[in-house]
Chain A
Amino acid sequence: MTVKKQETVYSMNNSNKSNFFLRLLRELRRIIYIMLDEYRIILKDSGLAVVFLGATFVYPILYSSIYRNETVRDMPIAVVDASQTARSRELSRRLDATPDLKVIYRFNNLEETKDAFYRNKIHGVVYIPNDFDQKINRNEQATVSIYCDMSSFLYYRTMMLGSNFSILETGRDINIERLDAAGITGRTAEVSLSPFRYEKNILFNEPMGFASFLMPVVLVLVIHQTLFFGITMLTGSLRKERLGVIDPQMRQRGKFFPTIFGKTLCYFTLYMVICAYVLLAIPRFFQLPHIGNPMDIIRFFTPFLLAVIFFSMLVSVFIRNRETALVIFPFFSLILLFLSGFSWPQSNISWFWKTFGMLFPSTFGIQGYLKINSMGAELSQVKFEYVALWIQTAVYFLATITIYRIQMRTTDK
């Protein structure tokens, strides 16, 4: 009796177990089926293929090529030399000798520079007044005026770098002459001139280059935006036929876990390959910063991809059709770009926009990528971003299944 009972229990356990495995196997097959089906849909739809494969391939190459010169060299400027002395001509020569500037005009007064400036032929003016040499000879302080074109930050920076350097150098020569006159020479003069030295080191972006600054951000954004756009577009176009369901083709009616996992697996595997190309290969190919550990980048971008996928699935529920997605997507790229705090510094973003930025995976993705890839941080140093992305993944996943469930219930009725 007892033996028999035990046997039944055992066999029940056994069948439960095999049932469980069978079910698991079935679910797995469903997931794989959905994943492959999703691949099929992407490849069949030329619009989607353009976004997932075309845009991710072309954008990084295009932008890296456009910005590959990194910075402005030999920026054209004018010198107004009212002094016309050997010393002022020497200063003008020095300005021209810097890699930043090129003196293309020499004028006699400031009024004459205006025409060239308004025609955008020059982006700066250095004015050496006529008392320049006199003052120096009289041991007074001379003044040199510089005028910067403020239409672009790079013009301004180039002008400041080039002219400050040349003027300080010229000043140093005069300095030595004056100390010489005061009877201070040699090593003593050197020490009096610069009691201490200061070494300036530019870290992580030595050329102070524009591509090194912008491109890493663009690369992450390309991943974020194509994935977001593709997913919303896909749902939108599928929605055209049957409104209001997560899986409008009813491939697995009522079973949304396999559907979500299958779709996720499709995008995730696809984007792992794309990430390797965009985030690892492109910086090496175009000599952009890439001092990070590739394994850390892959580990960091795992939650990033998942967060973007679930975020996009969630948003796509609210998007009625493909065209709406198209209209929102481009202008939002710009907002996300600035929310990431790569340009206007993160330390100076108000709490309101900072909080708003936390809604989007791109904010953490961009910061994390900059820190690992461009500054060589380890994964432990971007813990904040890493954890934030996992939290986003969890929250957007739960929100997505909740909404899908509600939608399914309403459509089943």
Chain B
Amino acid sequence: MSNSIIQQITNVTRREWKRILSHPIYLLTSVIAMLFCYLFFLTLMSEGLPEQLPIGIVDGDNSSLSRMLEQNIKASPQVEVVGKYATFTEARKDMQKGRIYAIIDIASGFQADLLASRQPAIAYYVNDVYLVAGSLSYKDLTYISELMSAFMQVESLQARGVVGGENLLPIVQPIAIDTHQIANPQANYNVYLSNVLLPGVLQLLVIMFTIYSIGVEIKQNTTREWLSTGNESVLASLTGKLLPHTLLFTVLGLMGVFLLYKVMNFPMNGSIAWMSLAMFLFVLAHQSIGIFIIGIFGRMRDAISLGVFYGLLSFTFAGFTFPIEAMPRGAQIFSWFFPIRYYFKIYVNEALNGADIRYSLIYFAAMAAFLILPFLVYTRLTKTIEHHDSEETRNSILNEQLQ
């Protein structure tokens, strides 16, 4: 019995390989798409943390002090002064053109006011439409002005005859902040994004191709032949058909794991084996979702439309850019229905934080739970496959007659 099931599955798998190779465009598209995304995202952000962000300066004072500030800013690797402007309006116009992400405005009389203890102001303007560039230049400018301020406080204290030297530092800055950016000390932006974006692309492809490979049989009216290869067993026919895809996408996924943690040397504080298992389950879960969707709709193009919709929402509900708990209550519940959410959690626990595996087991179980989906549509899908009278073929014939 078990022997014959294996035989049936092998037969269907052999048939599927032949089908794939006779129309290699789909295989090629998926492989090329994935490889292209690996290349694109990993090279696009290879710098890690964006440096030398262009900013502008309006130096209305043009004093030794304002020039010193400018020098300090120039020395910082994070930002680069690309424009000096006579007025703020000019600088703002360049910011609106997207040339600079921040403006430092030093009003005239800065040095004179400072020396006269009138507490002059330096104004920073940061463009947060570009949230990343804006936040980073904001952070850097704050840091530079804190330094400047500390330097001047020391000077002014010394001028007032307060005991000199190193003793002044605790007065100027009583509490030092020691920041630990857990597992990603450089705040590498590539690490944030690529760890989830790339599996995200993979799930899109898995869903699409699962729906396509089943849908095309229904569309081209070849389900009878497909089923007979599997000796009339829907289970064997489905398994045999999807096995080559499982293999292909798991290989592509593991290639990603290898690229991220071995080639790019992204943080990996846990075990690559667990991440690989997560990747394998991730592929299986999305194949199950693909079967579920085509099972419900039966018609390929409706199924694919829903697949696209679902696949794109995955990026949102992974919660890696905008945290789930900041979403409205109703939306939070939806995040449970996306395996990428659990993959993200496993990645954070394993790769980033190096937590004990017991913290992640629940997420592995959650991903595995998606494997139930095909059984929910099993009878419906069986009906579609067995009694398919090719509605689409009839429709298209009808259309042609109408024209």
Contact = CB atoms under 8 A, between A and B. Distances in A.
Physical interaction between A and B: yes
Interface of A: 47, 50-51, 63, 65-69, 71-73, 114, 117-120, 136, 139-157, 160, 163-164, 167-168, 170-171, 174-175, 178-179, 182, 184, 188, 190-206, 208, 210, 212-214, 216, 240-241, 249, 289, 320, 322-324, 326-331, 333-335, 338, 342-350, 353, 367, 370-371, 374-377, 381-382, 384
B37 A331 contact: yes
Interface stretch (B49-57, B234-242, B274-282, B374-382): B49-57
B359 interface: yes
Contacts of B327: 66-67, 69
B44 A353 contact: yes
B175 A143 contact: yes
B17 interface: no
A128 B352 CA distance: 24
Interface string B42-62: 011101001111100000000
Given A118-B356, A333-B312, 4 more contacts: A66-B328, A139-B167, A141-B173, A152-B320
Contact of A377 (B47, B97, B101, B208): B97
A157 B326 CA distance: 14
Contacts of A367: 98
A375 B51 CA distance: 23
Nearest to A192: B156
Contact of B178 (A71, A114, A143, A349): A143
A136 B174 contact: yes
Interface string B119-138: 11111111111111111001
A196 B121 contact: yes
A142 B178 CA distance: 10
Contact of B328 (A65, A184, A249): A65
B96 A381 contact: yes
A335 B37 contact: yes
Contacts of A338: 40-41, 44
Task: Classify chain B's interface size.
Answer: 35 or more
Interface of B: 25-26, 29-30, 33, 36-37, 40-41, 43-45, 47, 50-54, 93, 95-98, 101, 110, 114, 117, 119-135, 138-139, 142, 145, 148-149, 152-153, 155-157, 160, 162, 167, 169-184, 187, 189, 191-193, 197, 200-201, 204-205, 208-209, 212, 216, 300-302, 304-305, 308, 311-312, 315-316, 319-323, 325-328, 331, 344-345, 348-349, 352-353, 355-356, 359, 396, 400, 403
Contact of A152 (B124, B169, B321): B321
B31 to A, nearest CB: 12
A198 B157 CA distance: 20
A383 B138 CA distance: 28
A192 B157 contact: yes
B101 A141 contact: no
A200 B138 contact: yes
A51 B129 CA distance: 29
A330 B312 contact: yes
B308 A167 contact: no
Contacts of B155: 195
A147 B204 CA distance: 35
20 contacts: A50-B305, A72-B323, A136-B174, A148-B181, A156-B187, A157-B135, A171-B174, A174-B175, A192-B153, A208-B128, A208-B131, A323-B212, A323-B304, A326-B305, A327-B26, A328-B29, A334-B197, A338-B40, A344-B44, A382-B97
A156 B181 contact: yes
Contact of B208 (A175, A200, A326, A376): A326
A146 B44 CA distance: 31
B355 to A, nearest CB: 4
B50 to A, nearest CB: 4
Contacts of B130: 213, 342, 345, 370
Nearest to B131: A213
Contacts of B96: 371, 375-377, 381
A347 B132 contact: no
Contacts of B125: 201, 203
Nearest to A117: B353
Given A345-B53, A374-B129, A322 B301 contact: yes
